[in-house]
Amino acid sequence: MDLTSLTIHELSEKLKKKEVSSVEATKAYLKRIEAVEPRVRAFVTVSSEDALKSAEAADVRISKDEGVTPLTGVPVAVKDIFCTKGIRTTCSSKILENFVPPYDSTVVGRLKAAGAVILGKNNMDEFAMGSSTENSAFSKTLNPWALDRVPGGSSGGSAAAVAASLCSASLGTDTGGSIRQPASCCGIVGLKPTYGRVSRFGMIAFASSLDQAGPLTKDVEDAAILLNAIAGRDHLDSTSIDSPVPDYTAKLKAGIKGLKVGIPKEYFIEGMDPEVDAAVKKALDTLKALGAELVEITLPHTQYAVAVYYLVATAEASSNLARYDGVRFGLRVNRTGGLMDMYKKTRDEGFGPEVKRRIMLGTYSLAAGYYDAYYKKASQVRTLVKNDFDAAFTRCDVIATPTAPTPAFRIGEKVEDPLTMYLSDIFTISCNLAGVPGISVPCGFTKGGLPIGLQILGKPLDEETVLRAACSYEQATEWHKRRPAL
């Protein structure tokens, strides 16, 4: 039996029945990482020793039947943006190459409390800035379905690791689509919860009003299991929402008869890949056949979403990344030119080109004389985008769209054209601006064998309905069962 092919819920069942041990499962994953990782490059750090210690502890917990959860003994990974005590956390940046945090982020702490085994840290676009995982300071992650293609980004290492069965699941972050877009590119499930549903404490900040942690998994049930573990109020994060956390697995299979699914005309546009268009429309037919009612809606300010996002996100990034100055932690480039010289050289050598580009854009838009024209105006239009969703949800329960306008593109194809790269997130950005939950589930493949994703968006804090709609579609199709032949 190949333990690495199992979902969280399948492996959890075997662990509880003692048909297999966590140590065996962890060793199987570490062996697969050793064999496959050189071709995919999904990890920045593999923490084999820590993982095996955690697995031994999980086996003891299971043998005593003490606080066993669906994650106890299950090997997972996390994006290298989450602080992990004693394990280096780089954000795939040279400026944090040797940073070892003295504490765990809240989500990592909650995974550990649930008994999960953390195999290591997944590669990403530096400081989560990118849509292709080509911006890492250490290596480019490759798409397991086609090694000449990107896995999406910025959580591309997490998505590739799950698709290639290098971990049973991973945690990523989503600022403008960074969980859902790579999930679509890699043929897996990716969930962005409502802003504030999951704590951001110990998650290295890119854009604080947009960032949200969430699961990347092999199926929808696994996403619900992971969300159960990480969701909820955290007194260490003032933006986390104090709202009861339901059991997201409870109503997963209740069906979608009578559910109203909004179809926004602005998300079916000219220039979209025809195979993506056809696959998503076929998925909508499946939802209708399952008893859902398709309702045409409009999200009129969608056309401004990319511009708004790249003003708000870069402004917040400029502010957040000011702390990397070579003084307190991370890289320090010592020269003899004094303090300002050290600042400049540290940041020049520590940050990659995409991070520098976004810091400069953000600093410009926050400068005196430009703030009102750019950041303030973008914040006002962001409110209009949110109002669009509020109005749409008076007519429907969820909204269904393509996740990305194209399947995974070739490595290097968009590197020289940042604007074309930024348009990769055209269908995912509005969800972050509005703070609503969204999920991507596999809904087909191109003739060339590349995955295509269906995106389902929901009302704030209504992850239950989003997961139920996604699960109903998933159960009626076979796309999520396909795995790349590595």
| Candidate from 100-114, 165-179, 356-370, 412-426 with smallest mean pLDDT | 412-426
Question: Is pLDDT above 80 for 150?
Answer: yes
Contact 200, 313 (CB under 8 A): no
Active site residue 79: yes
Among 448, 458, 467, 444, CA closest to 283:
444
pLDDT band at 60 (very low <50, low <70, confident <90, very high): very high
| pLDDT tens string 287-313 | 999 999 999 999 999 999 999 999 999
CATH for 3-258+396-481 is 3.90.1300.10
| 293 burial type by CB count under 10 A (0-12 exposed, 13-18 middle, 19+ buried) | middle
Percent over 90 (pLDDT), the chain: 93
Taking each helix axis from N to C terminus, what angle separates 305-320 and 377-392, rounded to the nearest 10 degrees?
130
Q: Catalytic residue among 54, 79, 199, 318, which?
A: 79
Instruction: Quote the CA–CA distance of 239 and 21 in Å, as a whole number.
Output: 39
- Angle formed at CA 149 by CA 147 and CA 154, multiple of 5 degrees: 115
Question: What are the two backbone dihedrals, phi and then psi, of residue 121, each rounded to the nearest 5 degrees?
Answer: -115, 130
Instruction: Quote the CA–CA distance of 253 and 262 in Å, as a whole number.
Output: 21
What's the Cα-to-Cα distance from 272 to each of 183, 310, 342, 371, rounded to whole Å? 18, 21, 46, 34
Active site residue 178: yes
pLDDT band at 337 (very low <50, low <70, confident <90, very high): confident
How do the domains of the chain map onto residue ranges? 3-258+396-481
Instruction: Quote the CA–CA distance of 246 and 193 in Å, as a whole number.
Output: 13
3-state SS assignment for residue 469: helix
| pLDDT tens string 109-121 | 999 999 999 999 9
| pLDDT tens string 198-214 | 999 999 999 999 999 99
Question: Is pLDDT above 80 for 130?
Answer: yes
Q: Catalytic residue among 178, 365, 424, 430, which?
A: 178
Q: Catalytic residue among 21, 92, 105, 154, which?
A: 154
| pLDDT tens string 97-109 | 999 999 999 999 9
Instruction: Quote the CA–CA distance of 384 and 464 in Å, as a whole number.
Output: 26
Active site residue 481: no
| pLDDT tens string 13-29 | 999 999 999 999 999 99
Model confidence, pTM? 0.97
